A and B are shown apart, each in its own frame.
Chain A
Amino acid sequence: MYNEKVLEHFKNPHNVGSIQDPDGYAEVGSVECGDTMQMYIKVKDDRISDIKYKTYGCCAAIASSSIASDMALGKTLEEAEAISKTDIVNELGGLPERKYHCSLMAEDALKAAIADYRSKNKTPRQ
């Protein structure tokens, strides 16, 4: 049901954890299935210099969180904000169709953590 890449990220998710004093933080939930995700970011020179998260959910939710954190790390805020659930699914090499919604949570969490950073630092999106 899941491809090798998805299973690898599920078994050994990257960037798991929390950041003590994050520059941006968000907690989002999936209304559809009750999954939750906490996202922490550090920002340096308008780039994501560190990223951590915690995810409660199925294999697809955990793998999506892991790959989204990889995709966002080192990106400018604008580039990171542009990451969509389709990008996440593509980067994973595909997910079962009924699991697409699981990757939306990672997109939402990333966007919300950046929005939190922007609101604290008064740097509205250009």
Chain B
Amino acid sequence: MAVYLDHSATTYLDEAVFSKMEPYFTRKFGNASTPYAYGREADRAVMEAREKTAAALCASASEIYFTSGGTESDNWAIKGAAEAAGKGHIITSSVEHHAVLDTCRYLEAKGFEVTYLPVDAKGMVSAQSVRDALRPDTILITVMFANNEVGTVMPVAEIGAIAREKGILFHTDAVQAVGHCSIDVGAMGIDMLSLSAHKFYGPKGVGALYIRNGVKIAKFMHGGAQEKDSRAGTTNTPGIVGLGAAIELAADTMDAENAHEAALAARLKEGLLKIPYTKLNGHETSRLPGNVNITFEGIEGEALMTYLDLEGIAVSTGSACTSGSIHPSHVLMAMGLSPEDARGAVRFTLGRENTEEQIDEVIQKTSDIAAKIREVSPLFAQRKGGIKRV
């Protein structure tokens, strides 16, 4: 049985969402920027999607800018704020997605100064550390809503309150949070927020940046007047329609979906932690409901992932973007794990269609495979009564 447990990497496109997108690929193909009926039809669909996206964030439609996805939204928010300020200091965290971290490093090379806040052993950034890092020349705070590897949900509202109090721009990468966390950009003091449709059963290649009315950041794409003359490029009507339909569905079903994922995650966590020499990474409570991140001591995470793949089970080691590199996850290292424990971490992220039966199968197979790999591991030896850590 094939089991997909990597919903934080991407989700499938919901059939109902796809059917809403379909006409905009074919019959309703008009360019949303053109004034005649074909264009007006596309523009109306985009406007409707903008309203749905705004509603999901408690924002106004005029504050939603469609992009090609989370990475572009992060790049635009951070580089746009930096360029508008010209120089200054940026506060971020050490556990951000690379779309934020690499952008900050790029700006450091351009002369901006960046503080990378530490996290505690659960992957949490403290609001106090944000306050302590503030400088008179701080121009931007960018801290993620929820971490992609361990699922830790950050104290976004507290950080937002500090940013508001000091009059500093606050951006949050909410790519993993949308569809799982209630978001109210006004109440949470968020000035900019990145999201990506394919993380909540929408299409790939489309996302959005929320920019609070009145916030001025530099333009990112040049070459057209789309998105209020801020983000040039022919409007991706089918993608945007898909994003709008998916975010509306995600908001409507959030409570039920979270309960479903949380119940399965509890079952999975309990089963996996019964395997000897395992531990949970991340926060016990302030956590995305469908995230289970476990270290299997003495096992290289990629080996376990490869073996599970042979059994039809899709999981991830740390983060999908890290598996091409040979360094242990920057998130787990920032949490203080030993390199060995970080390398033994495997992430299971649940979704809508997972079942109890699947979870039980995954527990059984993971348990069997972990024992097999440990037979080869120099960190373990066969002892009376089973395998023991050396």
Could you list which residues of chain A lie within 8 angstroms of chain B, going by C-beta atoms? Answer: 2, 7, 10-11, 13, 16, 18, 27, 32-38, 54-59, 61-62, 65, 98, 101
Tell me the count of chain B residues lying within 8 A, CB to CB, of chain A: 22
Q: In the complex, what distance in Å separates the CA atom of A11 from the CA atom of B311?
A: 11
A36/B376 in contact, CB under 8 A: no
Residues of B with C-beta under 8 A to A32:
326
Tell me the nearest residue of chain B to A66, going by C-beta.
B376
Sample of 27 A–B contacts (CB below 8 Å): A2-B306, A7-B310, A11-B307, A11-B310, A11-B372, A13-B376, A27-B378, A32-B326, A33-B326, A34-B328, A34-B343, A35-B300, A36-B378, A38-B378, A54-B377, A55-B376, A55-B377, A55-B378, A56-B298, A56-B299, A56-B300, A56-B377, A58-B303, A59-B306, A59-B307, A62-B373, A65-B376
B residues within 8 A CB of A27?
378
In the bound assembly, the distance between CA atoms of A16 and B378 in angstroms comes to 10
10 closest A-B pairs (Cβ-Cβ)?
A: A54-B378, A33-B326, A59-B306, A58-B302, A38-B378, A56-B377, A58-B300, A58-B303, A16-B376, A57-B300
B14 at the interface (CB under 8 A from A): no
Contact with A along B327-339 (1 / 0, CB 8 A): 0100000000001
Q: Give the A-B pair count, Cβ closer than 8 A.
A: 55
CB within 8 A of B307: which of A10, A34, A54, A65?
A: A10
Which B-chain residue is minimally distant from A2 (CB atoms)?
A: B306
Chain B residues with CB below 8 A from A58, complex form: 300, 302-303, 306
Apart from A7-B310, A33-B326, A57-B300, 16 more pairs, CB < 8 Å: A10-B307, A11-B307, A16-B375, A18-B381, A27-B378, A32-B326, A34-B328, A34-B340, A34-B343, A38-B378, A54-B376, A54-B377, A55-B377, A56-B299, A59-B307, A98-B324
Q: Mark B366-377, 1 if CB is under 8 A from A, else 0.
A: 000000110111
- CA of A59 to CA of B299, assembled, Å: 11
Q: Are B324 and A37 interface neighbours, CB within 8 A?
A: no
Q: Does B379 contact A (CB under 8 A)?
A: yes
